[in-house]
């Protein structure tokens, strides 16, 4: 469901929508049903893989699906990925600019992971990836449990398809991170 009335990120933060997932896209409230079991299992496995690497390398913070990020203002867009990684460098630059981490941080995570649900529409997914990359995200993984594939998106327009027997990699964002796609889809 998408509403017609424009909202701000601050209004979304205070807007109670129990038992639903919400985002704000160009000022419009988008409400979705909670994710299903398969989506949750794949997202959790990806979270563990990324968090384990980040903890071992001490490179930043990993955040879960409930974390919203304000990607742009007027009209506001707040997106909430299934998994996000924010490097220490990105956090330091954010704080040096005098911005707060309270509420929806006005920053783009360095890595975003989106796990598709059966109700996700291809155009909406493309828009979401474009929003992340335009805001400054350096790597977006889109994982499709149904087709058992993934895609890696970079800001320069490069897009790589990953088959089930392939691996997602952290590239320059998280060097050394390799996640066997088959492992998170089983």
The CATH number assigned to the domain holding 131 equals 3.90.1570.10
- What's residue 4's pLDDT? 64
Q: Is residue 86 part of a domain?
A: yes
Confidence band for 111, pLDDT divided at 50, 70 and 90: very high
**What value does the mean pLDDT take over residues 165-175?**
98
Report yes or no on 7 lying in a domain: no
Token pair recorded at residue 39: 């989506």
Q: Are 75 and 26 in contact (CB under 8 A)?
A: yes
**Left, alpha or beta for 28 (phi > 0: left; psi -120 to 50: alpha)?**
beta
CA distance 75 to 61: 28
pLDDT, one tens digit per residue, over 7-30 is 999 999 998 888 888 999 999 999
* Residue 2 within a domain: no
On the CB side of 98, CA atoms within 13 Å amount to 0
Domain of residue 88, residue span: 36-185
Cα angle value 149/155/161 (rounded, 5°): 15
Q: How many domains does the chain have?
A: 1
Residue 85 domain-assigned (yes or no): yes
pTM over 0.85: yes
């Amino acid at each position: 469901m998408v509403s017609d009335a424009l909202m701000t990120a601050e209004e979304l933060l205070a807007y109670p929508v129990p038992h639903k997932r919400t985002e704000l896209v160009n000022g419009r409230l988008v409400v979705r049903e909670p994710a299903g079991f398969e989506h949750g299992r794949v997202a959790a496995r990806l979270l563990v893989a990324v968090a384990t690497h980040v903890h071992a390398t001490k490179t930043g913070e990993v955040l879960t699906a409930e974390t919203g990020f304000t990607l742009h203002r007027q009209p506001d867009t707040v997106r909430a990925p299934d998994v996000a990684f924010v490097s220490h460098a990105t956090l330091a630059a954010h704080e040096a600019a005098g911005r707060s981490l309270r509420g929806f941080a006005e920053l783009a995570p360095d890595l975003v992971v989106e796990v598709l649900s059966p109700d996700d529409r291809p155009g909406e997914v493309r828009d979401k990836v474009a929003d992340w990359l335009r805001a400054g995200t350096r790597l977006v993984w889109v994982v499709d449990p149904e087709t058992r594939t993934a895609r890696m998106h970079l800001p320069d327009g490069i897009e790589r398809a990953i088959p089930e027997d392939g691996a997602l990699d952290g590239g320059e964002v998280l060097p050394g991170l390799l996640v066997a796609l088959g492992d998170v889809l089983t």
